[in-house]
């Protein structure tokens, strides 16, 4: 199946979807990487001394949370750029990244809860700073998406969303630092920039690294596709509006109002 | 191991469904937009 239609003259026409050569390459690399990650994470890597088999959940949980943070960074950057430059392109980037961020934040919370059940004896606790700030970040992303759906002037909507988008990065910092600032049930970061992987077995660390690589490829693929979908949504709306105005104008000409869609204006009507 | 499998299946299934839905949405929308306004390069 191809994403590009070919005209009868043989030249490539506009794409019929959101795919391109670049996204196909990234998608293929992500698929190959995902197969390798499954083998590495579920078969080849050893179990942990204390966590046993449950350590394997970390290979999808930690990359999911990292992708969500990356999306939050992208949304905040997009929001800043929109407020600064009033650029539709950056507003679309922010919107696309926020939706993907919400999906991966939900995955991080769900996989974390699955890990917590056999480890802590419960899926969720409300007095843990990491868990509560993560839930807050997810709700903030959902709120951002809800704001994008509010009907009204697109520019006003984009401006309001951008102000909300500015709150995402401070929230990510809060989530990241919560285990340092408060005493929590959730453990501190295993990988510290100063002592990279010193507490992890080599193959476990490699599995986690592969999780990050595959996650980054999936993130890139999704952001490009979702950006194009958002762009097409905007174009479809504008195209529909242009058609409606043209139709209304044609009706006005037919009814003899001289092309004015609002009809004849008389002195009486306007006082 | 059931917890591990549950976590992995949820992550992979969600990402695949979301990616598929995004592509389908793109294809549907592309039909509504004139060809000259949907070029990526």
Indicate which of B1, B2, B4 best probes the interface with A, i.e. most A CBs within 10 Å of its own CB: B4
Q: Which of A99, A102, A162, A98 is nearest to A134 (CA)?
A: A102
The region of weakest confidence among A16-30, A132-146, A159-173 is: A16-30
pLDDT at A271: 32
Q: pLDDT tens across A5-56, in order?
A: 433 333 455 677 887 888 899 999 999 999 999 998 888 887 877 778 888 9
pLDDT at A264 over 60: no
Measure the CA angle with vertex A169, ends A163 and A174; round to 5°: 125
- Give the pLDDT band (50/70/90) at residue A176: confident
The region of weakest confidence among A6-10, A88-92, A251-255 is: A6-10
CB A21 within 8 A of CB A3: no
Q: Which residue in A has a C-alpha nearest to residue B4's C-alpha?
A: A57
Domain boundaries, chain A: 59-188+203-233
Find the Cα–Cα–Cα–Cα dihedral A210, A215, A218, A223, rounded to 10°.
-150
Beta bridge partners of A192: A195
| Interchain pair A15, B38: CB under 8 A | yes
Mean pLDDT of chain A: 83
Q: Does B2 touch chain A (CB under 8 A)?
A: no
pTM score, whole prediction: 0.83
pLDDT at B20: 95
Please indicate whether residue A87 or residue A191 has the higher confidence score (pLDDT): A87
* Residue A36, min C-alpha distance to chain B (Å): 13
Please indicate whether residue A2 or residue A172 has the higher confidence score (pLDDT): A172
pLDDT at A267: 42
The region of weakest confidence among A13-27, A115-129, A185-199, B24-38 is: A185-199
Provide, rounded to the nearest whole percent, the portion of chain A with pLDDT above 70. 84
Q: pLDDT tens across B1-41, in order?
A: 788 999 999 999 999 999 999 999 998 988 888 777 776 64
Interface predicted TM-score (ipTM) of this complex, two decimals: 0.91
CA contacts within 13 A on the Cβ side of A113: 16
| Interchain pair B39, A14: CB under 8 A | yes
| Interchain pair B10, A228: CB under 8 A | no
Stretch A85-97: mean pLDDT = 92
Dist. CA A200–CA A20, nearest whole Å: 39
Measure the CA angle with vertex B8, ends B7 and B13; round to 5°: 105
Nearest-by-Cβ selection for A111 from B1, B11, B35: B11
Beta bridge partners of A48: A52
């Amino acid at each position: 199946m191809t994403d590009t239609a070919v005209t009868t003259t043989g030249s490539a026409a506009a794409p019929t979807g959101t795919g391109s050569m670049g996204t196909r390459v990234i998608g293929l690399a992500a698929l190959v990487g995902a197969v390798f990650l499954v083998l590495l994470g579920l078969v080849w890597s050893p179990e942990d001394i204390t966590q046993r088999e449950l350590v394997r959940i970390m290979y999808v949980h930690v990359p999911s949370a990292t992708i969500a943070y990356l999306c939050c960074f992208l949304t905040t950057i997009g929001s800043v750029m929109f407020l600064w430059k009033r650029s539709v392109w950056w507003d679309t980037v922010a919107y696309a990244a926020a939706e993907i961020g919400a999906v991966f934040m939900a995955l991080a919370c769900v996989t974390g809860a699955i890990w917590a059940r056999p480890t802590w004896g419960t899926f969720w606790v409300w007095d843990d700073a990491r868990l509560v700030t993560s839930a807050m970040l997810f709700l903030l992303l959902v709120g951002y998406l809800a704001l994008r759906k509010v009907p009204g002037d697109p520019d006003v909507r984009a401006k309001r969303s951008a102000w909300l988008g500015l709150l995402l990065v401070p929230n990510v910092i809060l989530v990241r630092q919560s285990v340092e600032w408060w005493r929590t049930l959730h453990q501190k970061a295993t990988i510290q920039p100063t002592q990279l992987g010193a507490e992890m077995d080599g193959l476990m660390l490699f599995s986690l690294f592969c999780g990050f690589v595959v996650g980054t490829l999936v993130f890139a693929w999704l952001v490009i596709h979702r950006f194009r979908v958002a762009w097409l949504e905007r174009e479809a709306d504008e195209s529909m509006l242009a058609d409606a105005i043209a139709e209304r104008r044609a009706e006005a000409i037919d009814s003899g109002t001289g092309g004015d869609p609002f009809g004849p204006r008389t002195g009486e009507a306007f006082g | 191991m059931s917890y591990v499998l549950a976590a992995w299946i949820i992550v992979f299934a969600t990402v695949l469904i979301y990616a598929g839905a995004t592509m389908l949405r793109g294809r549907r929308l592309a039909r509504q937009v004139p060809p000259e306004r949907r070029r990526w390069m």
